[in-house]
Amino acid sequence: MTNPTSPLNERPLDMIIFGGGGDLAARKLLPALYMAHTHCNLPADTRILAIGRKDWTREDYLRNFMEEQARPFIDSKVFDAQSWDKFLALFDYVRVDVENPGDFQRLAQAARPGSQRVLYLSTSPELFVTICENLDGAGILDEHARVVLEKPLGHDLASARAINDAVGKHFKEEQIYRIDHYLGKETVQNLMVLRFGNAIFGPLWQAPYIKSVQITVSETVGVGSRAGFYDHTGALRDMVQNHLLQLLCIVAMEPPVSLDPDAVRDEKLKVLKSLRPMTVADIARDTVRGQYTAGAVGGEAVKGYLQEQNVPADSRAETFVALRAHLNNWRWANVPFFLRTGKRMQNRRSEIVIDFADLPFSIIPEGPRHYGNRLTITLQPEESIQLQMMAKEPGSGMHMQPVTLNLDLQQAMTQRRAEAYERLLIDVIRGRLTHFMRRDELEAAWTWVEPILNGWKELGDRPRGYTAGTFGPAASSALMARENLAWAEEA
């Protein structure tokens, strides 16, 4: 399957945003489009059609939403009033109740004949099917149209399939852009370059030279105002099924034959398919669910999850997950992958830690034996790549000490780093699918995750409490300690 790449400026662009008055539009999409516009990455003839249910005029939308809700999310250091005015000039507002097919006629009239249409569905996924049907019914779709689907794409395998089937009736797979914003992060893309642009890691990137891999995405934020969504979602669906598994894919995949979308996605799919399914006994032993209780983050007292707004008092939703995964393939035989994510943790940090094997034999008698080579790839808050090496401590004896080779990417490359959404939106506009999930990837991820959700139910599992501002329940450390390993911050 080839990637239909349309050069910038080929056709006028109509960017149509469903959920144009929503939270994601305000926080991420519109600021990202503003930045793309400011840096001349939108086709010259672009229009942005914000779709919402409110009975607003264009002016109402610009004032009530763009100015008041979206603009505060643009970094004031880069904001420019003149460029903002030019950006606002691209907008139109179309009132559409997506459940009313008649309303789509208004949209059909607003879209320009022959335009390249990008339909961004930033709504609840329950509406995806209706929106696609009504778009088709109103004659808004053609073979050039592209649709962008926001997560959560399903609640389980069956619902993910149902969405894919329904959207697939109106769009071919190469017109569908399933967003996982982690794939748009500079550092995540850089991981591919680290692996496939440097010859030195290739031979070592496998068992038995790698002992274990840790992938952590820790957040300091709590559930905030999203309890309605989060409480029946939980951390496994919200973060592991997509972001963490995508990171795992990039760490573990075989070198793709090229950067073509399907070449990369074929390799990621193989990783997902090689995840060893977990039995109920595995789930009891190798997974830890947690829920934060009151504590302090960054010196500020914070509530426990059960005290948050709109959270049921007996909620069993997990706000933390740690688990040990295995890949059933030659490259990774017997190498545990530890995945961990949580809200209200001690710090905001996303990192991948690759622990290389111990020395087969040490001829250097003096010095701590437990040190090994460790590659730490930090995705956020700052991008960095560090390799821990052993060196001789100055002096007369032969003492080893770990020292860190530090790749300072911020200093080495001072170019502006675009936010994930900006980069991904530009990819959609240019028809680049490499950093979007293909249908089979999504379904393979659900195939592995769903039994864990069922296993927890079967085990009657309650999440373990952990104090906000810590690194999760003690059982998470025990998961590693069992194998004589430790999470990076505990080592």
Query: Residues forming the annotated binding site for substrate?
Result: 181, 185, 219, 238, 343
CA 235 vs. chain centroid, Å, equals 13
User: Cα–Cα distance between 166 and 249 in angstroms, integer?
Assistant: 27
CB 352 within 8 A of CB 333: no
Residue number of the CB closest to ligand BG6 reads 238
The whole-angstrom separation of Cα 268 and Cα 249 is: 5
**CB 167, CB 121: distance < 8 Å:** no
The nearest distance, CB 249 to ligand BG6, in angstroms, is 16
Residue 262 CB, shortest distance to ligand BG6, in Å, is: 25
CA angle 345, 348, 352 (to 5 degrees): 105
Planar angle of CA 457, 461, 465, nearest 5 degrees? 140
Residues within window 243-272 making contact with ligand BG6, judged by CB under 6 A: none
Length of the chain as a residue count: 491
Scored b (16 or more CB within 10 A) or e, 13-29 reads: bbbbbbbbbbebbbebb
Minimum CB–partner distance for residue 181 and ligand BG6 (Å): 6
Interface mask (CB under 6 A) for ligand BG6, residues 59-78, using x and -?
A: --------------------
Nearer to ligand BG6 by Cβ, of 145 and 244: the residue is 244
Question: Taking CB under 6 A as the criterion, which residues in 144-173 touch ligand BG6?
Answer: none
**Least distance between ligand BG6 and beta carbon 221 (Å):** 6
Contact 166, 135 (CB under 8 A): no
Q: What is the closest distance, in whole angstroms, from the C-beta atom of residue 468 to ligand BG6 in the complex?
A: 15
Binding region for NADP(+):
53, 97-98, 151
* Closer Cβ to ligand BG6, 238 or 383, answer by number: 238
- Catalytic annotation, pick one of 37, 155, 170, 243: 243
CA distance 232 to 317: 7
219 binds ligand BG6 (CB under 6 A): yes
Select 286 or 419, whichever has its Cβ closest to ligand BG6.
419
For the chain, how long is the longest CA-to-CA vector? Answer: 85
**Which residues in 357-376 contact ligand BG6 (CB under 6 A)?**
none
Q: In what order do the strands lie in the sheet with 46-52?
A: 91-95, 46-52, 13-18, 116-121, 146-149, 176-178
- Of 343 and 439, the one with the shorter C-beta distance to ligand BG6 is 343
- 282 counts as binding ligand BG6 under rule CB under 6 A: no
Whether residue 381 is preceded by a cis peptide bond, meaning omega within 30 degrees of 0, is yes
Q: Please identify which residue in 150, 186, 231, 238 interacts with ligand BG6, judged by CB under 6 A.
A: 238
Q: Which residues neighbour 390 within 8 Å (Cβ) at sequence distance 6 or greater?
A: 367, 371, 373, 400, 401, 402, 403
Task: Please give the angle made by the CA atoms of 342, 344 and 345, to the nearest 5 degrees.
Answer: 70
Name 151's Cβ contacts closer than 8 Å, sequence gap at least 6: 178, 179, 180, 242
Looking at this protein, which amino acid is placed at residue 224? Answer: G
Minimum distance, C-beta of residue 465 to ligand BG6, in the bound complex (Å): 20
Least distance (Å) between residue 192 CB and ligand BG6: 18
Does 231 help bind ligand BG6 (rule: CB under 6 A)? no
Annotated catalytic, 232? no
CB of 233: closest distance to ligand BG6 in angstroms? 8
CA–CA distances in Å: residue 3 to residues 22, 173, 260, 343, 464 = 30, 10, 8, 37, 46
The C-alpha atoms of residue 252 and residue 265 are separated, in whole angstroms, by 13
User: 202 has which bridge partners?
Assistant: none
Q: How many residues form the binding site for ligand BG6 (CB under 6 A)?
A: 2
Please give the Cα distance from 13 to 29 (Å, whole number): 16
**Bind-site residues:** 53, 97-98, 151, 181, 185, 219, 238, 343
Residue nearer to ligand BG6 on the CB measure, 246 or 470? 246
Kindly tell me which of 344 and 438 has the beta carbon lying closer to ligand BG6.
Answer: 344
Q: What share of the chain is helix, strand, coil (3-state, %, to 5)?
A: 40, 20, 40
Beta strand spans in 39-171 (E) = 46-52, 91-95, 116-121, 146-149
Q: Name which of 219 and 443 has its Cβ closer to ligand BG6.
A: 219
Q: Contact at 8 Å (CB) between 128 and 164?
A: no
Closest CB to ligand BG6 among residues 111, 379? 379
* Residue numbers annotated as active site: 243
Contacting positions for ligand BG6 (CB under 6 A): 219, 238
